[in-house]
Structure 1
Amino acid sequence: MRVSVLFVTFLFFILPPLLAQKKPRTGKEPLFGKEYATYQVTSNELRGACFYLVGGHGGPDPGAIGIYQGRQLHEDEYAYDIILRLARELLSRGAKVHIIIQDKKDGIRDGHVLANSKRETCMGDPIPLNQVARLKQRCDWVNKLYRKDKSTYKRAVFIHVDSRSKGQQTDVFFYNAPKSAKGKRLADNLHRTFDKKYDKHQPNRGFRGTVSERNLYVLRNTIPVAVFLELGNIRNKRDQQRLVLDNNRQALANWITEGIVKDYKQGR
């Protein structure tokens, strides 16, 4: 009799809530590659937000080039890998994401020296060699998608890697369009996030990245609020560690995501 009572209790009072628990939602993005294509939507922190993610250069233009252990590091490959990681983090928080520069073969990669290619396209279109035409093409795509999206919080993120003298170590720099209050707020939130992370993980080093206005073509010619990141000096040995270690590339994506979430919560 006691067993029957326990069974009835389980059947009517315990089992229904267990069945009602929703399984985590999953999504799939082939651009992430086979290993990372499927992702879980773990929160709704960014529900209603839409992002236009643009890796620097690509196609016929590799961007800045550094030498690591006798092999070339191309800016466009590392910017693209971090863009993909960032896209995956944003999607996992319920956001809508457009990946503007694409490579159908190269997904998220965990190697040190990422193989170079010229396969990248701009939303499937060949990327022009001419610089102005190349920048205009990606801005046109961002603006086209922006006009169609119904989201109330829409942001464009441009990721690049700088090239300076080999001896010049740099931190991540954040740029916003001139007179863009929301762009500056986003850049400030990203900067504060990085500053706190450096205090935690490298307390004696300090963070020397800055936020400033830049009259860059892509910031000037895209409609959504935008931020432009320079992730380091691809020619500097210490900065190269920020790029070649896949854990560091993932950390960059995580920190950028955290800064974006803070900005989103402050207001649309």
Structure 2
Amino acid sequence: MKRIFCLLAVLFCTFLLLDVSAQGEYATPKSGEGISSFLERNKRPGKAYYNEFMKLNEKRLRGKEELRLGVKYVLPPLKKGTSASVSPKAVAGKKRVVRERLFGKKLADVTVTSNRLQGACFYVVSGHGGPDPGAIGKIGKVELHEDEYAYDVALRLARNLMQEGAEVHIIIQDAKDGIRDSRYLSNSKRETCMGDAIPLNQVARLQQRCTKINELYRKDRKKYKYCRAIFLHVDSRSRSAQTDVFFYHAPKSVSGKKLAVTMKETFESKYDKHQPNRGFEGTVSSRNLYVLLQAAPVSVFVELGNIQNTFDQRRFVISSNRQALAKWMTEGFIADYKQVK
């Protein structure tokens, strides 16, 4: 009897191990972690792993591209030649790592994975900040502040550009808020213009950031053959007005217009791929905006959508959508840079 019991126990453990092996490897996300950073932490970066993860966890995600605390997610199988036990030091030995604390503790170390923007320099500016929250939208009783969402997209854009080998200056900064994956971003007045307090007066505020950009540009133009500034904002219109991303350039700026058009074309191609039946109605036009007239580098001003509109709000509150905005703008810059080179 004892011998039969031992045999059954061995068989049970064997089937249990086979079952776990068949199911694959699981991991639980940390607080504030999005899908991309979750996969990166588990040594599975990149689009291929992301798409496979979405398929494996379709029921757990329930159609949403957001992770929930306490839920175990299936990790895609590691590709041949990679190991989940690879140490950060080993990876850093092969590729250059840049540290930027503004991205937050988890994402502060940026591995340069490409040289597609090597030789390029960017000035990334999120709108408003400090005492000025910019446009304010609402979902129920929750307020959505323009400066917080523009800042999160700005950080994501800056990090993407750095991964492509670019030099990046983040003009508006918050020492506490890194890249955040939550739907509702907490509001604060901590933002500075590279350490300097942001004035409430609109002209003074805009002049401050242009002065900072121009000071940096005077030095950067001697070292980098391609320097571009991007100003990120969120528009405020009637709740019924659903808008696409649209782009402004300075009047008479040939390079600015070319950049804006390239950005628009990039977004069009992405919408054709991801939402083929929707179409893209974003526009390009010239505007006599203060920052476009005063900033010395070639610049583009981007309105990311209408913070009052229910459909546009999804573009801001879902972290993967904010990441997509940053990714597509990065690809727009890469396309523009190739034309200049």
Q: Calculate the TM-score normalised by the size of structure 2.
A: 0.72
1:159 equivalenced with 2:232 (yes/no):
yes
1:69 equivalenced with 2:131 (yes/no):
no
> 1:201 matched to which residue of 2?
274
Q: How does 1:39-54 map to 2 (within 5 A)?
A: 39-54=110-125
SS at structure 2 position matched to 1:98: strand
Instruction: Give me the whole-angstrom Cα distance separating, in 2, the residues matched to 1:244 and 1:52.
Output: 24
Read off the aligned partner of 1:180 and give its amino acid letter: S
> 2:30 matched to which residue of 1?
none
Instruction: Give me the whole-angstrom Cα distance separating, in 1, the residues matched to 2:108 and 2:294.
Output: 32
> 2:340 matched to which residue of 1?
267
1:219 alignment partner, one of 292, 297, 308: 292
> 1:249 matched to which residue of 2?
322
Please state how far the C-alpha of 1:26 moved relative to its aligned partner.
Answer: 1.2
1:188 alignment partner, one of 242, 245, 261: 261
SS at structure 2 position matched to 1:192: helix
SS at structure 1 position matched to 2:279: coil
SS at structure 2 position matched to 1:185: helix
Instruction: Give me the whole-angstrom Cα distance separating, in 2, the residues matched to 1:114 and 1:80.
Output: 10
Runs of 4+ in 1 over 3 A off after TM superposition: none
Please state how far the C-alpha of 1:152 moved relative to its aligned partner.
Answer: 1.1
Read off the aligned partner of 2:191 and give its amino acid letter: E
Extract unaligned runs of 5+ from structure 1.
1-21
Read off the aligned partner of 1:214 and give its amino acid letter: R
Read off the aligned partner of 1:92 and give its amino acid letter: Q
Instruction: Give me the whole-angstrom Cα distance separating, in 1, the residues matched to 2:140 and 2:272.
Output: 30
Instruction: Give me the whole-angstrom Cα distance separating, in 1, the residues matched to 2:254 and 2:106.
Output: 39
Please state how far the C-alpha of 1:148 moved relative to its aligned partner.
Answer: 1.1
> 1:38 matched to which residue of 2?
109
> 2:85 matched to which residue of 1?
none
SS at structure 1 position matched to 2:128: coil
Deviations 1:11-39 (A, max 9, x none): xxxxxxxxxxx612211100000111111
1:108 alignment partner, one of 174, 179, 182: 179
> 1:57 matched to which residue of 2?
128
Q: How does 1:17-36 map to 2 (within 5 A)?
A: 23-36=94-107
**When the two structures are aligned, how many residues end up with a matched partner?**
248
> 1:10 matched to which residue of 2?
none
Instruction: Give me the whole-angstrom Cα distance separating, in 2, the residues matched to 1:40 and 1:193.
Output: 25
Larger radius of gyration: 2
User: Identity of paired residues, percent?
Assistant: 67
Please state how far the C-alpha of 1:69 moved relative to its aligned partner.
Answer: 3.0
Deviations 1:63-90 (A, max 9, x none): 0000013200000000000000000000
- RMSD of aligned residue pairs (Cα, Å): 1.0
SS at structure 1 position matched to 2:314: helix
Q: Calculate the TM-score normalised by the size of structure 1.
A: 0.91
Deviations 1:162-182 (A, max 9, x none): 000001000001000000000
SS at structure 1 position matched to 2:228: strand
Read off the aligned partner of 2:216 and give its amino acid letter: L
Please state how far the C-alpha of 1:51 moved relative to its aligned partner.
Answer: 0.3
2:160 alignment partner, one of 80, 85, 89: 89
